[in-house]
Amino acid sequence: MIPYIRKVTVEQKKWIDGGSFRDGLAFCQTIPGATAMQMSAYVGLKARGLAGAALSFVGFGLPAFVLMTVLSALYTRTHSLPTVVSAFNGLQVVIVAIVANATVMFGRTSLKGWKDGAIGLAAAIAFILGVTPIVTILLAAPAGALIYRGEPLAGKAAATARSHVSTRSLLLLLAVVGLAFAFLFVAQPTFFDLATLMAKIDLFAFAGGFSSVPLMFHEIVDVRHWLDNSTFLNGIALGQITPGPIVITATFVGYLLYGLPGAAVATVSIFLPSFLVMVVAAPYFGRLIGLPYFVEAIRGILVSFVGLLLSITVTFALQVHWDIPHLLLTAAAFVALWLKVEILWVALAAAIVSVLVLCGD
């Protein structure tokens, strides 16, 4: 999505220049949240201030929310049908390929030497041993600051946004968010639990939407047992055939738990914290990127996600029923993704193949 956002906002609409877009991308890749969502909001922030950021953010995410809600409703009514079961059996093995491909992509861009490998491996081992992903991330930050100390800093481009966001507007927004969470705490404690969980996942999901997968899986499946392994994988699969980031799986989780209100609460909560971080931190990022400890800590966090994604790939693989057809389907999906075929087409092709060829497995 990033090249397409650049084409529309820089070349066609000319809302932002190429240099500002490049700085904004560096900024959005550093802070938590889905990068494409953050970039849409960053462009709005540069072009029209806080209101522009909010409208861009909502406009980018709304189609995915609507489609995912419809798909979730259909899933609750049809998930036990043989054809649907067969389709999801195929989609689940493709999810293994998708997350494995994401792990490889993360590894190629993040692992530059033995120090990176050591942090990534430690994160994978910690996850396997039952250490929560959030604790792993919190430990990776000081580990990065310690291990990378003294190394030359890379990418000192100052990404600042003169967004004309007044302190009053920002405080008002934060007050509204605080009141909304307080209302849920008093009136709907179950919704408050859902909202705070999704917000926590978003705050620790650095390096794009895929980094939220191990966090979400751990909290929703392992800790709270809101969904079983297979149902969560089905939610990830549905998330891959929507136009939004993979964290839109939160909509699926919320819908299965509490219907449409739950879907709305989960969706807002999985996106809101990173949006607030973006609008608050944008004017100061140029200073932060020049601080060695900040850069080294962020590098440690990003590298740790390689290990977390590797672990979740293995975890997902252990949940799938493997046979020769599914192994071939997974291999074909991985090769297609490696060749840059769009995830949407890979997922749809897998579902069709599963229905036509693998039905009854």
Domain that includes residue 346, residue range: 65-356
Let me know if residue 29 belongs to a domain.
no
Closest CA to 220 of 177, 270, 183, 268: 270
Tell me what pLDDT residue 17 has.
85
Q: Which two tokens mark 263? A: 């879907």
What are the mean pLDDT values of the chain's consecutive 10-residue runs (361 residues total)?
A: 82 84 81 86 88 91 92 90 82 86 84 88 87 86 85 54 68 91 94 95 80 87 91 88 83 96 95 90 76 83 86 85 85 90 83 72 47
Let me know if residue 264 belongs to a domain.
yes
Cα 27 from chain centroid (whole Å): 16
Tell me what pLDDT residue 361 has.
47
Let me know if residue 156 belongs to a domain.
yes
Let me know if residue 16 belongs to a domain.
no
Let me know if residue 53 belongs to a domain.
no
Let me know if residue 105 belongs to a domain.
yes
Let me know if residue 20 belongs to a domain.
no
Can you tell me the distance from the alpha carbon of 148 to that of 143, in angstroms, rounded to the nearest whole number?
8
**Coil, helix or strand at residue 65:** helix
What is the pTM (predicted TM-score) of this model?
A: 0.80
Tally of domains within the chain: 1
Let me know if residue 240 belongs to a domain.
yes
